[in-house]
Amino acid sequence: MDILETVFVRNSLLVAFAVVGATLWISYLIADRLTHGRIHGSAIAITLGLVAAYFGGRYTGGSNGVADFAYLGGVGLMGGGMMRDFAIVATAFGVKIGELKKAGLAGVISIFAGVIVSFIVGALVALAYGYSDPVEITTIGAGAVTYIVGPVTGSALGASSEIIALSVAAGLVKSILVMILTPVIARFIGLNNPQSAMVFGGLMGTTSGVAAGLAATDPKLVPYGAMTATFYTGIGCLLGPSILFFIVRAVV
């Protein structure tokens, strides 16, 4: 046991590469044999990852999914912000400048529309559930923007930790849904070219959701969606505790 633990923990990143590789292999096998390629292998792998994260969190009580198991700590590093951003930027290799310019204006509009619409939806749900304090409504609305905008807004406005936790949960639900639903819904919303991918990234905004959702839809679209999505959280953090809060305070 000791030997196993020593080797696995010391080489955690390599364990993660092996485990993730095996997961992808199984997922592509399932996609091929059981769904005849109708569901993309990476969509199955991402879903398996989320399911594993659920059981990891249940079992360990931690907040990092399977990465809280000592043996799988490397998954935390491999799937952490640094590696994610590094790989996302790498996907921009080979992108044509012309494609970016084509969706330029629509891309910018989508970022603002995405932040504001998600915020309004979240705030309305908070109202429907009987919240009447503008700080609480704003924090929950900001959580529906992303799980980063929620706590940033909440702590800027001095919301209670329960409300902040609620806003993080709303953002997590959004992110996970985008991961799972994007490949299913892509054909119905015309998500099949670089321009609509940029608009999609700007509207959804959750970098992890967009990154995983597009990967499972068509990996060629990833750089376009990711490019706009990465501006979304910043814009959300900018608007949440300021303009959007003032509007909520004026209306409520």
Partner 1 sequence: MVVYGVALLSACLIVGMLIGEALGVLLNVEANVGGVGIAMLFLVIASNSSRFKSLVEGASGRGIEFWSAMYIPIVVAMAARQNVVAAFEGGVLAIVAGVAAVIVSFALVPLISKLGTKSSAENNEVDA
Near partner 1 in 145-174, by CB under 8 A:
145, 148-149, 152, 156, 165-166, 168-174
- CB contact at 8 A, 78 and 19: no
Site residues for partner 1, window 183-242 (CB under 8 A)? 185, 187, 189-193, 195-196, 199-200, 202-204, 207-208, 211-212, 215, 219, 222-223, 226-231, 233-235, 237-238
Site residues for partner 1, window 124-143 (CB under 8 A)? 124-126, 129, 140, 143
Identify the residue among 114, 134, 154, 183 touching partner 1 (CB under 8 A). 114
Q: Which is nearer to partner 1, 2 or 29 (CB)?
A: 29
Q: Which is nearer to partner 1, 3 or 223 (CB)?
A: 223
By the rule CB under 8 A, 86 interacts with partner 1: yes
Site residues for partner 1, window 16-55 (CB under 8 A)? 16-17, 20-21, 23-24, 42, 45-54
